[in-house]
Structure formats: C-alpha cells, structure tokens
Amino acid sequence: MVNALKKGKSKDLLTVIIFCIGIVIIVLAPWIMVTAIKPTSFKDTGQIGDTIGGITAPIASLLGSFLIYKALQAQIAANEIIVNQFDEQKNDETRDRILGNITDRIKFLRDDIHEFSFGGFKGFQAIDQSLQIWIASGPQNINNHYALYIRQIGSILAIMNDTIIYLERSDLKESEKENLKIIIKSTYYKILPYLYRERKNLPSDVASIYTEINDRLEILNPIEEADDLWSNFES
C-alpha cells in the first residue's frame, strides 16, 4: 500500500512537471521560433495571431493529448480499485456465509447431542447408557429396540463428519479451519470415551464414521486420548 502511494505520487509529480514544461514551451515557442528566423521581427511572418497559433497549436495539442492520456490512466486505476473493493466485499460475504453455515451446523450438532435422551438420561449420559444397554441386550440383533438409539448416535456422528468435510472443502483460511476444528473436536471428545469403549460392538456403518472422524480430526491415538478423558472424568 505504501509503495503504491509513493508510486502514485511520483506519477502525479511527473505529470505536473510535464504540464509546466508544456506551458513554458507554448509561451516561449513563438518568440524562439520567430527570432530564430529573424530576431525580434515579425515582418515576414504574416499576422501575429496566425504565427503564434501555428507554432503553439501542435504543442498545445500534444499537451492536451498527454493530459487526456493521464486522465484515462487515472480512470482505469479508479475502476480497478472499485473492482477490487467489490471482489473483497464478495469474498467477505462468502466467508461470512461459510462461517455462519458451519457455526449453525456445530450448534445444531451440540443441540442434537444435548437433546438425546434415553432412560431418563439426557445428553452424553444418555449416549453412554444407551450404548451400555444396547451391548448388554445383544448387539448382534440389529432389530432390537435399543438399536434405534444406536442409529440415532450414528446420525449424530454423520452430521459431525459432514460438517468436518464441509469445513475442509471451504475457502476459509487455514487458521480459521483449525479453530473451528478445535470446537468440533471439543464436542467429539465428550463422546469419544463411550464410542471407544464400545468400538468393537458398533454397527459397521457407525464404526466406519467413527474411524473417519478420528482420521479427519487427526486423533492419532484414540486409545490413549480416550484413556486420558476417562481419567479426567473419574477424577
């Protein structure tokens, strides 16, 4: 920005200098041209007005053309600034829309988890209880009553995974993506211990989403991280 301003000022100074030189030439040209032929005598030069006009007209025309050229340059530069402002505004609007969309998804995801209910429990405790009872009732029977709750958990995980994919494919800055991933990760961490504990008994589609989320959130060692979370819960 500073360099652009300096460059613009130098161009303006050059224009002023050329304009001043042109004015000086227009004023002095008749005297210089005429006296070069016959000093201080206009006897053989015809009407003085025709002489001055004939000498200065080409110079004035060139000077006028130069000023028009500079004016067009300034107009082009102004148009570029306006276009850039529109582009920046459009990018900001797109960024705000993406951020708003992802924020809404995260809020919906959290609400979905908090509204999850089972056996008098709600939220994370309900997820824990439903997983435990489903396993105890025989997870091999995918049609039992408790399987519906597991499918609901799978739906929550699918929403989380879709949100992460949408975030990764967005045009947000990497720093913004990382910050939003941390928010998603903090929510996922609250159900990770329950999922990890029952990971071998999860339906294949739910287990697949669970694994994909771990990969996308770069949870390199879910066993260790889940154990750390369990120790925090128990302390």
**pLDDT tens, position by position, 191-218:** 887 888 788 888 888 889 988 998 888 8
**Would you say residue 122 lies in a domain?**
yes
Question: Number of folded domains in the chain?
Answer: 2
**122 and 230 assigned to the same domain:** yes
**128 and 184 assigned to the same domain:** yes
**pLDDT tier at 158 (50, 70, 90 boundaries)?**
very high
Q: Residue 179: is its pLDDT beyond 80?
A: yes
**183 and 149 assigned to the same domain:** yes
**Which of these three, 91, 124, 150, is where a domain ends?**
91
Q: Which residue has the higher pLDDT, 137 or 166?
A: 166
Q: Residue 190: is its pLDDT beyond 90?
A: no
**125 and 55 assigned to the same domain:** no
**Would you say residue 135 lies in a domain?**
yes
**25 and 120 assigned to the same domain:** no
Q: What is the pTM of this model?
A: 0.60
Distance of CA 197 to the CA centre of its chain: 39
**pLDDT tier at 120 (50, 70, 90 boundaries)?**
confident
**86 and 145 assigned to the same domain:** no
**Would you say residue 30 lies in a domain?**
yes
**Average pLDDT of every residue of the chain:** 75
**227 and 129 assigned to the same domain:** yes
Q: Residue 125: is its pLDDT beyond 90?
A: no
pLDDT per residue as tens digits for the range 131-142: 888 777 765 555
Q: Residue 3: is its pLDDT beyond 90?
A: no
pLDDT per residue as tens digits for the range 42-53: 555 555 556 556
**pLDDT tier at 183 (50, 70, 90 boundaries)?**
confident
Q: Residue 107: is its pLDDT beyond 70?
A: yes
Rounded distance between C-alpha atoms, residue 189 and residue 187, angstroms: 5
**Would you say residue 106 lies in a domain?**
no
**pLDDT tier at 5 (50, 70, 90 boundaries)?**
very low
Name the residue range of residue 30's domain.
2-91
